[in-house]
Amino acid sequence: MGTEIRPSGGLELGYARVSTTKQNLERQLDSLVEAGIPDKQIYVDKKSGATVDRPGLTDLLAFARPGDTIVVHTLDRLGRNLREVLNLVHDLNDQRIGVRSLADPLPINTAEEGMARIAFLLLALFAEMERTFTAERAAHARAVAEAAGRRIGRPVAHPTDKIEYARSLRQQGSSLGEITTKTGIPKSSLHRYLAAPRPGERTNGTL
């Protein structure tokens, strides 16, 4: 793919990617061809979600030169998350390589001035806002759960009465092995349960 014969205004280079074996490239490829991108200037990655290597994108970035524009169906094809996409577009901008999307709600062309560039900046702003909102929602959920007396974190894997029985055995001098035999609680969990304070008990042992 690609050609060394470059017009003075730069090349438009297409890129298409699917992240699962159940997806197909036809829709993306059709939109790139309709946009006037020759087949030989279209780079493709079709990998499973567990595969991080993207040789098509690697080849495309190695071939692209200042003045070229990378064209995608939607901007998310350039990365696995919005931060990765934004970082790549910024890096390309520094190299004077534009990025154009065809089917985003606000189609973007970073080589243009005006509204297209504003749209890209808004995407970056929305990404930062979403990270903030996600952190705030998680903190609020923790606060509500704690106020309601619910346990935060990994759930207890064994019944409370069995844990109390284990504590009683420990106070009577039983070894961890003996307690495991009588309660069925593995030693790895016993260490955690025996070290944790009882409900309503302060960590210093006073009520």
The domain that holds 65 is classified in CATH as 3.40.50.1390
If residue 9 lies in a helix (H) or strand (E), which one and from where to where? none
Is the same domain home to 176 and 105?
no
* pLDDT band of 152, cuts 50, 70, 90: low
Same domain, 180 and 98: no
Mean pLDDT on 77-89: 84
Is pLDDT above 60 for 154? no
Mean pLDDT of 191-199: 73
Q: What is the dihedral of CA 198, 200, 206, 207, to 10 degrees?
A: -140
Higher pLDDT, 14 or 169: 14
| Last residue within a domain, chosen from 94, 112, 130 | 112
Question: Looking at the structure, do residues 22 and 91 belong to the same domain, yes or no?
Answer: yes
Domain end call among 43, 78, 112: 112
Share of the chain above pLDDT 90, in %: 27
Of 38, 50, 95, 99, give the one whose Cα is nearest residue 74.
99
Q: Is the pLDDT of residue 2 over 50?
A: no
Mean pLDDT of the chain: 80
Band of pLDDT at residue 115, cut at 50, 70 and 90? low
pLDDT of residue 56: 95
Residues with a known catalytic role: 19
State the angle between helix axes of 187-195 and 160-171 in degrees (0 to 180), rounded to the nearest 10.
80
Structural contact between residues 91 and 118, judged by C-beta atoms closer than 8 angstroms: no
Residue 6 burial (C-beta neighbours within 10 Å; 0-12, 13-18, 19+): exposed
Q: How many domains does the chain have?
A: 2
Indicate if 92 and 184 belong to the same structural domain: no
Q: Which residue in the block uniquely carries the two structure tokens 């808004």?
A: 122
Per the structure, the complete domain to which residue 168 belongs is given by 160-195
Same domain, 18 and 106: yes
Share above pLDDT 70 across residues of the chain, in percent, rounded to a whole number: 74
In the chain, the amino acid numbered 84 is: E
- Residue 204 in domain: no
* Residue 33 belongs to some domain of the structure: yes
Whole-angstrom distance, CA of residue 86 vs CA of residue 103: 17
How far is it, in rounded angstroms, from Cα 81 to Cα 200?
43
User: For residues 142-158, b (16+ Cβ closer than 10 Å) or e, as one string?
Assistant: eeeeeeeeeeeeeeeee
Tokens of 32: 């790139």
Statement to judge: residues 101 and 166 lie in one domain: no
User: Does pLDDT of 138 surpass 50?
Assistant: yes
Q: How far apart are CA 87 and CA 44, in angstroms?
A: 20
* Same domain for 87 and 175: no
User: What pTM value is reported for the model?
Assistant: 0.57
Residue 165 to residues 29, 182, 185, 188: CA-CA distances in angstroms?
65, 9, 11, 17
- The residue from 112, 142, 175 where one domain ends is 112
Question: Between vectors from CA 130 to CA 128 and to CA 132, what angle results, nearest 5°?
Answer: 75
Q: Please work out, in degrees rounded to the nearest 5, the angle formed at the alpha carbon of residue 118 by the alpha carbons of 112 and 122.
A: 140
Q: How many CA atoms lie within 13 A of 137 on its CB side?
A: 6
